[in-house]
């Protein structure tokens, strides 16, 4: 089996037909399509079962609702392909997508290979160029030495999961799975952990994935009023143009713990001095144990959080992260 394509499904009856039609008509025939019905309450389960009846490359798993991350992880555990890809059920892909990604991955021995994507409106189907992505092509066989280098290949691959093909033995060897305790940003956290272990990455400019936006109730809806999500968790956290993620205190602690784990694998935060002042300070803060400030320090940070731009954003985050504990 060349590729296992994992499709987590929850109440997506209006979209699943177009999605699965695009997958069964891939030019790469040696694939399996693993659909995980995550406790849907509409007719999604019946639609998936009907597809499995007529297409022997489709497997359907029915489970109680547990969230997208858990559904994706279940699909990964059952995957038998040399590579693993993810497609959201309200999206669809070009017929050549997985053939092109496999070709590029094998040519370079890449752990992860990415392509561009086209964003389109759920309302009228119009293309949203400002939310689309056409990366410059490239291959990086020295990922660890290129961490945080401007315009590096990994920076051009974006943080989203569904424009990528992952080598399955790479994911399994390092125990890389989605963080199930997050309600959002699980793509970001997985990508951080991938970057800590990857040795070769490849990216092609072709827009092979069609990414539905502005759908009511979708996971990414809260981010779509802003510009395209940036690659690194640190960048998303610090950028004043991005909304802070809506996380509980416990989730903030887990996020910080994952970031500390990543910095421990990627190297000391001092290596990131080439960044701007506040980006570097945020990296150093995420790499360090949580602080336990007194009343005066908290008051001072609160005052500084009123500063404009990245400085004010940094002190807002400093207050949040100091009160959440260190995660695991």
Mean pLDDT value of segment 61-87: 97
Distances in whole angstroms, Cα of residue 52 to Cα of each of 61, 75, 83: 11, 16, 21
Query: DSSP states of 42-74 as a string?
Result: SSHHHHHHHHHHH-TTEEEEEE----HHHHHHH
Q: What is the CA radius of gyration of the chain?
A: 20
Mean pLDDT value of segment 285-309: 87
pLDDT of residue 97: 98
Interstrand relation of 201-213 and 112-121 (parallel, antiparallel or unpaired):
parallel
Mean pLDDT value of segment 188-203: 87
Q: pLDDT tens-digit profile of 25-36? A: 999 999 999 999
Q: Cα–Cα–Cα angle for 45, 12, 242, nearest 5°?
A: 140
pLDDT at residue 326 above 60? no
Mean pLDDT value of segment 84-105: 98
pLDDT of residue 105: 98
- As a dihedral over the C-alpha atoms of residue 232, residue 235, residue 237, residue 239, rounded to 10 degrees, the angle is -150
Out of 16-25, 38-47, 150-159, which region has the weakest mean confidence (pLDDT)? 150-159
Q: pLDDT tens-digit profile of 124-143? A: 899 999 889 899 999 999 87
Which of 49-53, 142-146, 189-193, 274-278: highest mean pLDDT?
49-53
Mean pLDDT value of segment 67-79: 96
């Amino acid at each position: 089996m060349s590729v296992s394509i994992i499709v987590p499904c929850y109440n997506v009856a209006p979209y699943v037909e177009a999605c699965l039609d695009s997958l069964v008509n891939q030019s790469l025939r040696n694939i399996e399509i693993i659909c995980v019905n995550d406790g849907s309450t509409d007719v999604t389960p019946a639609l998936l079962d009907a597809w499995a009846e007529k297409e022997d490359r489709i497997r359907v798993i029915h489970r109680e609702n547990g969230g997208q991350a858990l559904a994706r992880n279940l699909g990964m555990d059952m995957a038998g392909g040399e590579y693993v890809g993810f497609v959201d059920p309200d999206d669809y892909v070009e017929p050549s997508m997985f053939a092109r990604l496999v070709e590029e991955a094998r040519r370079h021995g890449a752990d992860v290979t990415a392509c561009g994507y086209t964003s389109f409106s759920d309302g009228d189907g119009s293309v949203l160029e400002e939310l689309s992505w056409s990366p410059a092509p490239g291959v990086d066989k020295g990922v660890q030495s290129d961490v945080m280098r401007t315009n590096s290949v990994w920076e051009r691959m974006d943080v989203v999961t569904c424009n990528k093909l992952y080598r399955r033995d790479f994911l399994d060897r390092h125990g890389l799975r989605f963080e199930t305790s997050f309600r959002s940003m699980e793509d970001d956290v997985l990508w951080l952990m991938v970057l800590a272990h990857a040795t070769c990455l490849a990216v092609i400019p072709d827009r092979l994935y069609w990414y539905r936006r502005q759908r009511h109730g979708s996971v990414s809806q809260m981010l779509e009023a802003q510009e395209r999500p940036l690659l690194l968790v640190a960048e998303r956290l610090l950028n004043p143009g991005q909304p802070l993620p809506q996380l509980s205190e416990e989730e903030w602690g887990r996020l910080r713990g994952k970031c500390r784990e990543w910095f421990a694998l990627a190297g000391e935060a001092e290596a990131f001095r080439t960044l701007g002042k506040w980006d570097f300070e945020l990296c150093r803060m995420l790499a360090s144990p949580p602080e336990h400030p007194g009343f005066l320090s908290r008051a001072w940070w609160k005052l500084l959080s009123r500063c404009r731009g990245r400085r004010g954003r940094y002190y807002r985050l400093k207050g949040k992260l100091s009160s959440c504990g260190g995660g695991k």
